[in-house]
Structure 1
Amino acid sequence: MERKYPNLCKPITIGNVTFRNRMFGAPMGGTDITADCTIGPKSTAFYELRAKGGAASVTVSECVVHPETEGSHMYHLDLQTVGSLASFTYTADAIRRHGAIASVELSHSGQYAGTYLTDKNRKQGLAQWGASEGVRPDGLPVKELTQELIDDIVASYGTCAGLAKRAGFEMIMVHGGHGWLINQFLSPHFNKRTDKYGGPLENRVRFAQEVLDSVREAVGPGFPIEFRMSGSELFEGGYNLEDGVEIARAVESRVDLIHVSAGTYQTGFGITHPSMFLPHGCNVYLAAEIKKHVSVPVATIGGLNDPAEMEEIIASGKADVVEMARALLADPELPKKVMANRDEDIIKCLRCFTCMAERAMTATRRCTVNPLIGREMDGTEVTPSLSPRKVLVAGGGPGGLKAAMTAAKRGHEVILCEKSGQLGGILKGEQALPFKYEMYELGVTLGKLAKDAGVDIRLNTPVTREYVEKEAPDALIIAVGSEPVVPPIPGLEGNNVVVVNDYYLEKEKVGDSVVVLGGGLAGCEAAIHFAQEGKPVHLVEMRKELAPDANIRHRPIMLREIEKSGIQVHTGYKGLSVSAEGVVCADADGNEHMIPGSTVICALGQRPRKDLVEELMDCAPHVATIGDCVKASTITTAIYQGYHAALDI
């Protein structure tokens, strides 16, 4: 067949291993790391899903090579712990049996040991070892590694690599980026040593070279070694891209693939893992420059999820391989869909950081758009129903669409009614914010997939009790969503006021300056958008802090965006009245202030449409309520509940 993306779909041989395409699954931490730091069965299923979806390789992250100096609760691989080698063997087998190459990332966090502990207080009891003595930003002291410990750590990389090969892994990734130990030796910011490991770059790269030599000795010639590095640390005092090129040249004879990422622990989470406020592919230039100077293949990574963009990267020679992590959580079948010319069916990553926030909060995984993630052992196949039913879904938002397409896949006769003329529910409004456009696209894609699954979609069709009685379904899924909160503030009904949900319909009403009334997630993101357009923006919030409803990964990135955008923030301010000049607010002491702006954006939250729920609750033998009509919440909740509501019929 003729491939729509021939370069992306072309196999590549690295070392003595041939990979089926150029789409690699980047390292992602698992979902059930046991108390003994082995790979639990849920994590095995988690990695296997990526292999089933067509990725050329799937990398297990992170295997700590030297627990004596790195006490983080991550994977360990040794012969002393019962079940350790077996857990890696089962995982490698689960990946390989679907045609993907199993890889494992060997790592040491150095002075950042304990970063991934759910109980952050436990970091206090860990020994923090680094390239040089110092103090971490959080105040924990760091001890300088001795030559004896360096030799022991170097040897441990080889030991783990040899065991991984025995377990069935066919590639090793050595993590040399992101501020972890190898990067700490490479970085002039961290490395203040005066021995053979410090000073000029040829000394600072020595530890990485010794590690790679140890791994090579353990795995033998031809066995692929991938070196993950930051092309630039991207902060003052760190190394730059010119240094990154020299580092790559210094290790290329020892590796088979150079994986170029970006940033370090110092630069913040949203650089290494590009946030929605950054362009897709913003870090590709680092790999493109390094590729000009080395003879081995180069991989790139960072917020990539569009096949057309990835095809151009390979076709133009910027990189030989593209790696994805979050994109393959959102849609594990992305590579399979690309190979089959079905790219319009890809459910794209929203870069919302739900996946990483969940890992930090509960030590599990969850994905906003994929209810399977972290729950793969519950079953990843939608099985046909033995007793097909007639199902009516009220509401065409993300929850309703997910419920409808899932029910249709099970063989039910499904009708979905949407009261407006367009599917997507609350996601329709996101088309007006460029950095959230993929949320709008999610509604479009789910609508296509529902239609392809055979759902009878009826637009401009509100669901009433009479309508349900006429259709007489066996099951009714109520997904009627929420409505914006518009309190009785004088002037809030004026022509200079736009409800944030309706902004995409009323963009022409927004003037030269804006007051956003409501500093929750929606209000903050709207304020950022208007500031990016160059408008003066005031952001008013009654609570003491902004966006407590945002997840712990997205929130600090968003707050930094607000700060650098020049948005004037007023917390502890309550809106009293709206006029043509702006909003009169009262501060915590009751003093009144005029917050100026020609347009007021009302972003005061959502309330569930409980009146519609109550009307419809007894209209069918089986009734389920999902999403915002239960409690104003998130896309994650709506899709998860919609999926399982359909499975319950």
Structure 2
Amino acid sequence: MIKKFPHLSSPIQIGNITFRNRMFSAPMGGTDITNDGCIGPKSTAFYELRGKGGAGAVTVSECMVHPETDGSHAYHLDTSILNSLAAAAYTADAIRRHGAIPSLELSHSGMYAGTYMTDKSKQHSMNQWGPSDAVRPDGVPVKSLTKEMLAEIVSAYGNVAGLAKRAGFEMLMIHGGHGWLLNQFFSPYFNKRTDEYGGSLENRCRLAIEVLKAVREAVGPGFPIELRMSGSELFEGGYDLAEGVKIAQQMEPYIDLLHVSAGTYQRGFGDTHPSMFKDHGCNVYLAAEIKKHVSIPVATIGGLNDPQQMEKIIAEGKADIVYMARALLADPFLPRKVMANKEEDIVKCLRCFTCMAERAATSTRRCTVNPLIGREMEGCDITKAPESKKVVVVGGGPGGLKAAHTAALRGHKVILMEKESELGGILKSEQALPFKHEMYELSLTFAKQCREAGVEIRLNTEASKELVEQESPDAVIIAAGSSPLVPPIPGIHGENVTIVNNYYLEKENIKDNVVVLGGGLAGCEAAIHLAQEGKKVTIVEMRKELAPDANVRHRPLLLKQMENLVEIRTGFRGLEITPQGVLCEDSEKQQHLLIGNSVLCALGQRARRDVVEALQDTAPYVASIGDCAKVSTITNAVYQGYHAALDI
């Protein structure tokens, strides 16, 4: 078999361990961490799926080595804690039995320890420890670690490393990036010490070297030790790439693999985890430059999900290994598909941050495009139904496509009726926004899955009650979606007005000066795109805040992206659309004419309840999913479609 991606697919030896390919699963935190820091069974299943999916290595994140100075609610590996070692051993085994190498990330949060996660009442009473006395941006005071404390921390790294090896982990990642403790010592911004741990670059690297020596002593020769570092802190006052190269050279004698990431707390979440507004692989240049100056293997990371791009990165010598996190949530089997030359079957990450927002909001894990994530213990394999039934799915959006594919895999005869000439539903409109094109691609991938599973797709077919009943289905899944909300504002049907859902069909109607009516997520993203095209854009929103429907991770990056691009008018209500623009009223009842030769209407969506009501008695089993049940998110549509099909 000739591999399409020979570099990605080739094994690599690090230390005494051979990894089956160059696609590694990056550290991702678990969700059912016990109160005393054990790895819960849901997290074990979560990590196992990455191993089953073909990754060369799977990193469990993150194990805090010294709870006395880092009270974060994270994993701990401690023989004094009942089940701690056993939980780690079961997790390492769950990964290894599928051929992946299990790795554990050892860490210390330093001044950013999340002590409040275990007991929020102690957030300001428990000490935060860092290189130097300081006050965090959130007002929490930080105390300088004493030399005695540093010695304890170094010893703790070695102790936990030995336990990790005993548990069956075959590689260790030492976290020295992203603003955690070792990064804080590297950084001239954080580290103001005047002893042998501060000042010169050599001194600032001292703690990390002591840690790495302690880990090596615990695990012995040949056991792979990986250091994760930020190639640059990416903010004024932090270290830059040139100094990142020097730090890497200082670390090189003590490690087997250098993992180059980017950014810190000071610069922000969107650099370490590149958003949809950034290019895929935007941080690869950091690894590529550092690799020129070291002789050990170098790994890179940052919004990577395209096999062709990743293959090129390795082929051109920019890195030896590519790490993925979100991409392996969206499709845990991405590595196996690459190895099998089936890259066209990959379900790509949308970089929508649902996964991370859900952790912040509910302490669970969820993925927009993959309903298995966070629920792996319920079973990852779709089994055949005891009896094959006839299923009609109404609507070819993301929820309907997921339902149809799942039902077909269950062995049912599935007919999908779509009233328009193209599948995709609301995702069709995303093809007009370059930074959201992967959402449009999702509809193509889901449609391909349906066709290959044997779903009969009927386009240009509006599912009336009579038409559906003619099929005598055993089950009907209604995924009719939503329709744009178009309120009776005078002038809203004028030639200068485009509904946001139709923008991809009517791009030529949008001139150089645009008023976007509606500041929800859809309106804000459209405004950013239009402004990036060089148009003058004003966004109008009745509420005081923009994009309240965006998740907690995506929203700050969205608002940041709008700065200096879009004129924002919140607290403005549209009264009338004229050829000159939009007449608005502010909270003081004062009227304003916002000038624009084009108006984009993005005032929300309305559930298509009429379709649900018409079809609710067309079969013994009827389920309504997605927007037609309640206007919500792609995440809910996909999840509901998947489970509605499993229930047949």
| CA distance in structure 2 between the aligned counterparts of 1:217 and 1:587, rounded to whole angstroms | 68
Contact 2:299 2:319 in 1 (8 A): yes
Aligned equivalent of 1:137: 137
Aligned equivalent of 2:202: 202
Secondary structure of the corresponding residue to residue 646 of structure 1: helix
Q: Report deviation, 1:115.
A: 7.5
Q: Once superposed, what is the RMSD of the aligned Cα atoms?
A: 0.9
Q: Report deviation, 1:117.
A: 2.7
Note the alpha carbon deviations across 1:475-514, whole angstroms, 9 max, x for none. Answer: 0000000000000000110111110010000000000011
| CA distance in structure 2 between the aligned counterparts of 1:628 and 1:270, rounded to whole angstroms | 29
Please tell me whether residue 331 in structure 1 is matched to residue 331 in structure 2: yes
Aligned equivalent of 2:516: 516
Contact 1:32 1:40 in 2 (8 A): yes
Q: How many corresponding residue pairs?
A: 648
Contact 2:515 2:581 in 1 (8 A): yes
Aligned equivalent of 2:6: 6
Aligned equivalent of 2:348: 348
Secondary structure of the corresponding residue to residue 124 of structure 1: coil
| CA distance in structure 1 between the aligned counterparts of 2:22 and 2:317, rounded to whole angstroms | 13
Contact 1:114 1:126 in 2 (8 A): no
Note the alpha carbon deviations across 1:256-285, whole angstroms, 9 max, x for none. Answer: 000000000111111100000000000000
Matched AA of 1:506: E
Q: Report deviation, 1:563.
A: 1.1
Aligned equivalent of 2:96: 96
Secondary structure of the corresponding residue to residue 382 of structure 2: coil
Q: Report deviation, 1:371.
A: 0.4
| CA distance in structure 2 between the aligned counterparts of 1:199 and 1:439, rounded to whole angstroms | 48
| CA distance in structure 1 between the aligned counterparts of 2:37 and 2:418, rounded to whole angstroms | 48
Contact 1:161 1:218 in 2 (8 A): yes
Matched AA of 2:601: C
Matched AA of 1:615: A
Structure 1, unaligned stretches of length 5 or more?
none
Please tell me whether residue 571 in structure 1 is matched to residue 589 in structure 2: no
| CA distance in structure 2 between the aligned counterparts of 1:349 and 1:116, rounded to whole angstroms | 31
| CA distance in structure 2 between the aligned counterparts of 1:33 and 1:281, rounded to whole angstroms | 31
| CA distance in structure 2 between the aligned counterparts of 1:18 and 1:115, rounded to whole angstroms | 38
Please tell me whether residue 622 in structure 1 is matched to residue 624 in structure 2: no
Please tell me whether residue 604 in structure 1 is matched to residue 603 in structure 2: yes
Contact 1:38 1:76 in 2 (8 A): yes
Q: Report deviation, 1:162.
A: 0.4
Q: Report deviation, 1:576.
A: 0.2
Q: Report deviation, 1:36.
A: 1.1
Q: Report deviation, 1:116.
A: 8.2
| CA distance in structure 2 between the aligned counterparts of 1:215 and 1:149, rounded to whole angstroms | 17
Contact 2:110 2:181 in 1 (8 A): yes
In the TM superposition, 1:468-507 aligns within 5 A as 468-507=468-507
Note the alpha carbon deviations across 1:345-386, whole angstroms, 9 max, x for none. Answer: 000000000000000111110000000000101111101001
Matched AA of 1:193: R
| CA distance in structure 2 between the aligned counterparts of 1:601 and 1:125, rounded to whole angstroms | 51
- Cα gap change, 1:153/1:279 in structure 2, threshold over 3 Å: closer, same or farther? same
Q: Report deviation, 1:83.
A: 0.6
Please tell me whether residue 38 in structure 1 is matched to residue 17 in structure 2: no
In the TM superposition, 1:375-454 aligns within 5 A as 375-454=375-454
| CA distance in structure 2 between the aligned counterparts of 1:434 and 1:232, rounded to whole angstroms | 28
Aligned equivalent of 1:54: 54
Q: Report deviation, 1:123.
A: 2.4
Please tell me whether residue 556 in structure 1 is matched to residue 556 in structure 2: yes
Q: Report deviation, 1:121.
A: 5.6
Contact 1:71 1:127 in 2 (8 A): no
Aligned equivalent of 2:581: 582
Note the alpha carbon deviations across 1:100-139, whole angstroms, 9 max, x for none. Answer: 0000000111000118838766422331000111000000
Q: Report deviation, 1:315.
A: 0.4
- Cα gap change, 1:596/1:442 in structure 2, threshold over 3 Å: closer, same or farther? same
Secondary structure of the corresponding residue to residue 416 of structure 1: strand
In the TM superposition, 1:9-28 aligns within 5 A as 9-28=9-28
Contact 1:330 1:348 in 2 (8 A): yes
TM-score normalised according to structure 2 size:
0.99
Contact 1:299 1:319 in 2 (8 A): yes
Aligned equivalent of 2:269: 269
Contact 2:50 2:328 in 1 (8 A): yes
- Cα gap change, 1:54/1:533 in structure 2, threshold over 3 Å: closer, same or farther? same
Aligned equivalent of 2:612: 613
| CA distance in structure 2 between the aligned counterparts of 1:54 and 1:417, rounded to whole angstroms | 35
Matched AA of 1:336: R
Matched AA of 2:262: A
| CA distance in structure 1 between the aligned counterparts of 2:72 and 2:225, rounded to whole angstroms | 24
TM-score normalised according to structure 1 size:
0.99
Matched AA of 1:16: N
